[in-house]
Amino acid sequence: MGQFAFALAIQEATGCTLPLMEPLKWGFSMQGKPFLPLVAGFMLLFMGCGYTPSPDKVPYNGLTKTPPMGWSSWNRFGTGIDDQTVRTIADAMVSTGMRDAGYIYVNIDDSWQGARDAQGNLMPNDKFPDMKALADYIHSKGLKFGIYSSPGKKTCEGYLGSYGHETQDANTFASWGVDYLKYDWCYAGFEYNLFGGLQSAYLKMASALRATGRPMVYSLCEYGRGGVQAWGAGVGGNLWRTTTDINDSWDSMMTNIESQVSTAPYAGPGHWNDPDMLEIGNGGMTEDEYRTHMSLWALSAAPLLAGNDVRDMSASTMGILLNSDVIAIDQDPLGYQASPVRNGVLETWFKPLADSGIAVGIVNRNSYPLRVTVNLHNLAGMNVRDVWKQSEVLLKNDAYSATIPFHGTLLLKMSPN
């Protein structure tokens, strides 16, 4: 690690040359205009390096050695989701190649719940006539089935939560064939306090899930409260949200990914920071912004849960979600969560890879395109690939020049020959 020195010369597309940046070494030293939140993030990161997360209170379930990939109903459909829509989504996950690219979980978010029967068993509402049959259908497609509940009495949309029925609900989920549970805090604050209550609420369901004997990915959703990154794995979480809800805009997407920088030391195989589900293909951002969204999620080893209507994807959306190079960066077995350094309008994210290679993303936060020259020294024996061009880079005098569009990202992957 740490052998590469980068020097970036920034030149505006108009030909006007901006001052050279100082050479970057893994982005850890940099001069120019500091970006205070990120600088603060780095300080936390360094302080966090010696931190030992709380010891496991439930045994690790052995799942999500790489960040989970799949689809979730929430971002595109909200509460307007039903059995037939989920089935046709599952069909499309296969026909579009999403499943074969690694997107295997099909997750129903909030709004599937009905009443409890006389024995207290949670039943689905009329939109989901037979959850077991739906799970069987999803499994028959070579996909896995995810569901959603809350540690409180009610979910965020006011449907029934699992409070007081944790064991019963975990058993119900297992009997249906659930493979993934998102457990969303919502109104649980009425039942638990925020000091210790968060952990005990999540631990209770983790123990119930483990006791079923069925392996289920456990996704904690409490918006990053209480420093969840330090104890999420200890209470059985495979991933935990670090931020408030994403929406389909550049500002929301960038805020989510940048505000979780201090959580980087806590990511790794089996336990991931989750800056929320993808908005790619939902229409609120430009193609270049969606490429940045995908690049930054991959560099951050974030879960990749598509949040669009996969039955109706443009060629551009498919090109972004199905780009095998960017997926490989996300799924790299080292599980390293990149951190950025900011210099003026450029933000550079570095991610070491398991094969001793490195992925580097340079984001243009400017409102116009920028010409960038990346000088790559000490790269003998490395292949350099431009991920979004999907082609090998030919270096001229150890340098590669490219134009990064407004809000776009130059994503390079360097791998040993």
329: which 2 tokens?
């960066």
The interface region with ligand GLA, picked from 7-15, 31-39, 153-161, 345-353 by CB under 6 A, is 153-161
Give least dist CB 70 to ligand GLA, A: 14
Nearer to ligand GLA, 105 or 350 (CB): 105
Q: Confirm or reject binding of residue 218 to ligand GLA (CB under 6 A).
A: no
Q: Is 274 in the site for ligand GLA (CB under 6 A)?
A: no
Angle CA(48)–CA(182)–CA(309) in degrees, nearest 5? 110
Q: Which listed range, 25-33, 155-163, 266-274, 312-320, lies at the site for ligand GLA (CB under 6 A)? A: 155-163
In the residue annotation, 100 being an active-site residue is answered as: no
State yes or no: residue 221 binds ligand GLA (CB under 6 A): yes
Candidate list 82, 245, 325, 386, residue with the active-site label: 245
Is 83 considered catalytic here? no
DSSP state of 226: G
Stretch that binds ligand GLA, among 29-37, 154-162, 166-174, 260-268 (CB under 6 A): 154-162
Is residue 110 at the binding interface for ligand GLA, with CB under 6 A as the rule?
A: yes
User: Rule CB under 6 A: which of 237-256 touch ligand GLA?
Assistant: 245
Residue 31 DSSP class: -
Token pair 């659930």 is found at 178
Residue placing its CB nearer to ligand GLA in the complex, 224 or 335: 224
What are φ and ψ of residue 45, in 5° steps? -60, -45
Q: Which of 96/243 has CB closer to ligand GLA? A: 243
Answer yes or no whether residue 109 interacts with ligand GLA by CB under 6 A. Answer: yes
Residue type (1 letter), 143: L
Residues in 157-176 that interact with ligand GLA by CB under 6 A: 157
User: What is the longest distance spanned by two Cα atoms in the chain?
Assistant: 75
Cβ of residue 260: shortest distance to ligand GLA, in angstroms?
14
Count of all residues that appear for the chain in the document: 417
| Interface with ligand GLA (CB under 6 A), residue from 71, 74, 77, 183 | 74
Segment interacting with ligand GLA (CB under 6 A) among 36-44, 151-159, 194-202, 264-272:
151-159
With contact defined as beta carbons under 8 Å apart, do 43 and 364 qualify?
no
User: Cα–Cα distance between 222 and 242 in angstroms, integer?
Assistant: 8
- Rule CB under 6 A: say whether 81 interacts with ligand GLA: no
Helix (H) or strand (E) holding 329: helix 324-330
Return all residues near 174 (Cβ < 8 A) that are at least 6 apart. 209, 212, 213, 214, 216
Residue whose pair of structure tokens reads 């993030």 in the numeric block: 41
Q: Dihedral (C-alpha) 234, 235, 238, 239: value to the nearest 10 degrees?
A: -100
3-state secondary structure of 200: helix
Chain positions 173 to 192 lying near ligand GLA, rule: CB under 6 A, are 184
Q: Given 184, 248, 330, 332, which residue is catalytic?
A: 184
Contacts of 256 (CB under 8 A, 6+ apart): 242, 243, 244, 246, 275, 276
Binding site for ligand GLA (CB under 6 A): 74, 109-110, 155-157, 184, 221, 245
Which residues are catalytic, by number?
184, 245
